[in-house]
């Protein structure tokens, strides 16, 4: 049978490129090599482990790496970490991780270390083609491990496992040389699954390597010709069938063979004579594991897609939007100097709007970085008195409009560890909210108190947080009673405090009003002097 030729479009894309396949299983390595050759890669090199791969990369140029995770000497993850080191030229090579067993911690570590794509066994030529294309589009994405763990937490995985997936009728292959055994098992399982059956080991292998392989195999151990152990070994050594779960059906006297089968890769066993309830329970358990594997694969794909989308949005905000806004601001400044009295107000409005949009974009980027854990904090001593005084001065017009008196009682020598601009935005949000929430004619009181290591800034107003949002007060988009409120202010303030090693809490009641307490890391004068050196 002739092998399909590489498409002309693929040859144009990859015809001058070289790929490196890293896998300690020779058959798998050859299978992926053949697939990459069919995609048009000029050279496809093979390595048996991570160390072998690094040695090869010293001698030849590599444009793509497709690596298994589990290998002796150096794993695929260790290889990924090695080539992603900043000082190496290889740190932007697209890296596709191949695995047959998705583990949450592995996924988090690999993505945070810059894996380009995941490819879960089994996979087709088309799946590999799509992953290769996507890997070249975004060779080295990655979030901080802490942020990824938050998104891809064990809670999320448990929730996914608890949800019943849309039930696709799954196929079970029954392999036994005794027709009566096949009849009994088929009669028991056909109500719930599609059944295929055969009476020889070779027939089982042919079915598994065909166009419609089964989802699960119930395999008899003792058969003439090729026995169950030989069938299991052959299936597990073939990349196209190694993923199919095998449950052995054996007599009690075949315990040693069962142990050998489990060592070869079988997932379970059922003893003869069979007990219907046990058979159904075991089969259902492993079918559920298959569903969970599919769900995990989809989660990985979604996680990678979301990461790429976020990076693309960041690029759009940072360049595609800010650049034309800067041009508008520059042109507005020029027009302002040369405009007539009649048009001056319009020019000023355009300039102010452009500056406001630029500030909004910066705030969105900062919020995104705080949410994902990407924000790089440059902490320095911040004087509470100077910061809060400046914030309050910025809201004089708003407080006068509502007849709100803002009073402060702040120690002039108190400092906390943080970023001035980040903290200014945080307190500006909180003070603005307090003024807006305070009843007309009342006051907002801002005080600070300190102990040895913590500094607490308190913002009190006589308004009351509505009971409907108290349990969700710091959540995103939660607001109540504010005409133009978007629920971002308190949410971003909470993230900002936590990014600086602190936190925010509140207390609210009809009698006392509302107190927002911002707790931050206090620094002594000696610590401040050391930081400023």
Q: Which two tokens stand for residue 69?
A: 């995770």
Q: From 1.10.3470.10, 3.40.50.2300, 3.40.640.10, 3.40.1260.10, which CATH number describes the 171-292 domain? A: 3.40.50.2300
Beta partners for residue 458, in sequence order? 447, 517
Q: Where are the domains of the chain?
A: 8-142, 171-292, 305-372, 380-532
Q: Tell me the C-alpha distance between 78 and 69, whole Å.
A: 9
Instruction: Return left, alpha or beta for 487; rule: phi > 0 is left, psi -120 to 50 is alpha, else beta.
Output: left
Can you tell me whether residue 247 is helix, strand or coil? strand
CATH class of 8-142: alpha beta
- pLDDT of res. 389: 93
DSSP string, 340-365: -HHHHHHHHHHHHHHHHHHHHHHHHH
Q: Kindly calculate the radius of gyration of the chain based on its CA atoms and give it in whole angstroms.
A: 32
Residues with Cβ within 8 Å of 77's Cβ and at least 6 positions away in sequence, in order, are 69, 97, 106, 109, 110, 113
- pLDDT of res. 48: 92
CA 467 to chain centre: 34
CB atoms within 10 A of CB 314: 16
- pLDDT of res. 311: 58
Q: How far is CA 179 from CA 174, 197, 200, 268, 438, in A?
A: 11, 10, 11, 22, 83
Strands of 92-228 (E only): list them.
95-99, 117-120, 171-175, 194-198, 216-220
Q: pLDDT of the chain along its 533 residues, tens only?
A: 344 455 555 556 788 899 999 998 887 888 889 889 888 898 999 999 999 999 999 999 999 999 998 888 899 999 998 988 866 777 788 999 988 666 666 777 787 788 888 887 767 677 788 889 888 877 766 544 444 444 444 434 333 333 333 446 889 999 999 999 999 999 999 989 999 999 999 999 999 998 889 999 999 999 999 999 999 999 988 877 888 899 999 886 777 888 888 888 898 999 888 889 989 998 988 888 877 776 666 666 655 655 555 555 555 555 555 556 666 767 777 776 776 666 777 777 677 666 656 665 666 667 777 776 667 888 899 999 999 999 998 889 889 999 999 999 998 888 999 998 889 889 988 999 999 999 999 999 999 998 878 999 999 999 999 998 888 888 877 777 665 555 678 888 999 999 999 999 999 999 999 999 999 999 876 666 665 55
Q: Tell me the C-alpha distance between 297 and 99, whole Å.
A: 10
CB atoms within 10 A of CB 59: 8
Match 């107000």 to its residue by tokens: 345
Residues with Cβ within 8 Å of 327's Cβ and at least 6 positions away in sequence, in order, are none
Beta partners for residue 220, in sequence order? 249
Q: Tell me the C-alpha distance between 38 and 7, whole Å.
A: 8
CATH class of 380-532: alpha beta
Residues with Cβ within 8 Å of 325's Cβ and at least 6 positions away in sequence, in order, are 354, 357, 358, 361
- pLDDT of res. 103: 66
- pLDDT of res. 246: 94
Residues with Cβ within 8 Å of 418's Cβ and at least 6 positions away in sequence, in order, are 377, 379, 380, 382, 500, 501, 502, 520, 521
Expressed in angstroms, the distance from the first to the final Cα of the chain is 75
| Percent of the chain as helix, strand, coil, to the nearest 5 | 50, 20, 30
User: CATH topology of 8-142 equal to that of 380-532?
Assistant: no
Are 332 and 347 in contact by the 8 Å Cβ rule? The answer is yes
Are 389 and 431 in contact by the 8 Å Cβ rule? The answer is no
Number of H helices, E strands in the chain: 20, 17
- pLDDT of res. 483: 59
Q: Tell me the C-alpha distance between 75 and 79, whole Å.
A: 6
Question: Which of 32, 10, 6, 7 is CA-nearest to residue 19?
Answer: 32
The sheet carrying 171-175 orders its strands as 194-198, 171-175, 216-220, 246-251, 268-272
Are 238 and 265 in contact by the 8 Å Cβ rule? The answer is no
| Most distant CA atoms of the chain, gap in Å | 102
Can you tell me whether residue 443 is helix, strand or coil? strand
């Amino acid at each position: 049978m002739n092998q399909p030729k590489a498409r002309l479009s693929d040859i144009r894309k990859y015809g001058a490129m070289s790929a490196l396949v890293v896998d300690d299983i020779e058959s798998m390595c050859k299978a992926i090599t053949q697939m990459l050759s069919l995609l048009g890669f000029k050279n496809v090199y093979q390595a048996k482990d991570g160390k072998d791969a690094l040695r090869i990369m010293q001698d030849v140029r590599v444009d793509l790496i497709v690596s298994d995770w589990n290998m002796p000497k150096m794993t695929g993850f260790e290889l990924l970490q090695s080539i992603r080191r900043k000082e190496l030229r290889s740190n932007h090579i697209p890296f596709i991780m191949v695995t047959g067993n998705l583990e949450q911690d592995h996924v988090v570590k690999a993505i945070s270390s810059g894996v380009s794509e995941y490819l879960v066994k089994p996979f087709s030529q088309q799946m590999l083609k799509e992953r290769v294309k996507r890997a070249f589009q975004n060779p080295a994405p990655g979030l901080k491990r802490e942020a990824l763990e938050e998104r891809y937490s064990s809670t999320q995985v448990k929730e996914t496992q608890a949800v019943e997936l849309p039930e696709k009728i799954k196929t079970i292959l029954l392999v036994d040389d005794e027709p009566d055994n096949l009849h009994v098992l088929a009669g028991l399982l056909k109500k719930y699954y599609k059944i295929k059956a055969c009476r020889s080991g070779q027939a089982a292998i042919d079915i598994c390597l065909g166009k419609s392989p089964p989802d699960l195999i119930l395999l008899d151990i003792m058969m003439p010709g090729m026995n169950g152990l030989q069938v299991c070994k052959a299936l597990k050594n073939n990349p196209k069938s190694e993923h199919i779960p095998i449950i052995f059906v054996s007599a009690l006297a075949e315990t040693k063979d069962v142990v050998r089968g489990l060592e070869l890769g079988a997932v379970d066993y059922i003893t003869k004579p069979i007990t219907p309830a046990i058979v159904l329970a075991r089969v259902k358990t492993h079918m559920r594991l298959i569903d969970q594997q599919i769900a995990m694969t989809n989660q990985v794909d979604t996680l990678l897609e979301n990461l790429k989308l976020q990076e693309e949005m960041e690029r759009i905000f940072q360049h595609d939007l800010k650049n034309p806004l800067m041009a508008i601001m520059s042109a507005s400044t020029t027009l302002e100097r040369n405009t007539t009295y009649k048009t001056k107000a319009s020019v000023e409005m355009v300039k102010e709007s452009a500056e406001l949009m630029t500030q909004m974009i910066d705030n969105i980027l900062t919020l995104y970085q705080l949410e994902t854990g990407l924000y790089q904090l440059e902490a320095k001593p911040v004087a509470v008195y100077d910061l809060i005084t400046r914030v309050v001065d910025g809201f004089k017009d708003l407080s006068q409009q509502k007849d709100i008196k803002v009073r402060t009682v702040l120690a002039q020598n108190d400092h906390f560890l943080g970023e001035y601009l980040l903290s200014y935005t945080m307190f500006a949000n909180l003070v603005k909210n307090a003024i807006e929430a305070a009843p007309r004619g009342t006051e907002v009181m801002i005080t600070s108190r300190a102990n040895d290591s913590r500094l607490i800034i308190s913002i009190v107003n006589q308004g009351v947080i509505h009971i409907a949002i108290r349990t969700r007060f710091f959540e995103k988009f939660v607001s109540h009673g504010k005409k133009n409120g978007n629920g971002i202010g308190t949410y971003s303030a909470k993230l900002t405090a936590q990014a600086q090693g602190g936190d925010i809490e509140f207390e609210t009641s009809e009698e006392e009003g509302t107190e927002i307490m911002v707790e931050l890391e206090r620094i002594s004068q000696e610590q401040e002097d050391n930081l400023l050196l």
